[in-house]
Amino acid sequence: MLHLNKDYLFSGLIENTRKNKIDLKIGADYSINNTSFSIEQDLDREYTKQHYFGSADYNFSNKLNVNSHFDYIIYADDAFASKQKLPLWNAAVSYAFSKKKKKKE
């Protein structure tokens, strides 16, 4: 039996270049996986994954930072009736308690 896999990935990202106070990113990935079999063709599959994301990072001062990141992922497989959708959100606040000033990057 011959087994053949074909994978494709398309990706895009947009972000700001001046990141003194704020860092913004938005983007998307789209991937396709095709698997085919020479004898058992009913096992052939096409699997897709869509990934959309955005993030924001804001420096209020040298010590205080707030950031947030959102992912929205969609999985689809022609062997299943419905798509799986997965939203993920992450947020954080950080504060440096040290007396030493944070180095600017």
CA–CA gap between residue 39 and residue 71 (Å, rounded): 39
CA–CA gap between residue 51 and residue 54 (Å, rounded): 10
Query: What is the per-residue pLDDT for 62?
Result: 85
Per-residue model confidence as pLDDT tens digits over 13-62: 999 988 888 999 999 999 998 888 777 767 778 889 999 999 999 999 88
Q: What is the pTM of this model?
A: 0.74
Q: What is the CATH number of domain 3-95?
A: 2.40.160.40
Query: What is the per-residue pLDDT for 6?
Result: 86
CA–CA gap between residue 67 and residue 13 (Å, rounded): 18
